[in-house]
Amino acid sequence: MIMKSENPTCGKMLVSEPFLLDINFSRSVVLLCEHNEEGSVGFVLNKLLSINTDEFVPNLLTHIFPVFYGGPVEQNTLHFIHRCGPLIKNAQKITDDIWWGGNIEDVNELMNKKLISAEDFKFFLGYSGWASGQLVDELNNKSWWVVDSDEKNVFTDDLEEMWSNVVSTMGENFKHLAKAPLDPQWN
């Protein structure tokens, strides 16, 4: 069971409540990569775009990766998370199994040597960002649930069901919400 928490911290996941109307975050699962007094940064894990890394930044990488919608902030930037740990220099540790960014040349070299695989990465266009106190306000307004992250959930291929799968593992009180329609009037 995924543990529901009240405190957003680095490495937690934000799960949008079922009826959040914001088109950027409807039925989203966001990995929180930074949370401090200055604000918060995260990446939407379950919204795949129809572009790849080579279309966004030609010749940056020797391997072509799919690109996810990271969030509405700075849509002209490319970010990545991975499970390669300190093999990639300058990577920031998010959890024991999840890392953020690092030296892109290390990615190319390790991929070429087949020491890591494409499944170890998620690339994002833009990011989700909150100013100081903004995320706490959204949590107080019940827009998000905070849950423990799980490396399997973060890197799953089942994007269509990611949100409902995470919600259904939050406990008995949440199982019925995992199957809630997008519009409560459909009920």
pLDDT tens digits for 52-71?
A: 999 999 889 999 999 999 99
Least confident of 8-12, 90-94, 138-142, 175-179: 175-179
d(CA 33, CA 49): 21
This prediction has a pTM of 0.90
Enumerate the domain spans of the chain. 4-186
Instruction: Assign a CATH topology to domain 4-186.
Output: VC0467-like (3.40.1740)
d(CA 72, CA 127): 6
Give the pLDDT band (50/70/90) at residue 177: confident
Q: What is the mean pLDDT of residues 147-156?
A: 90
Sign, CA torsion 59/60/63/69: negative
Give the pLDDT band (50/70/90) at residue 1: very low
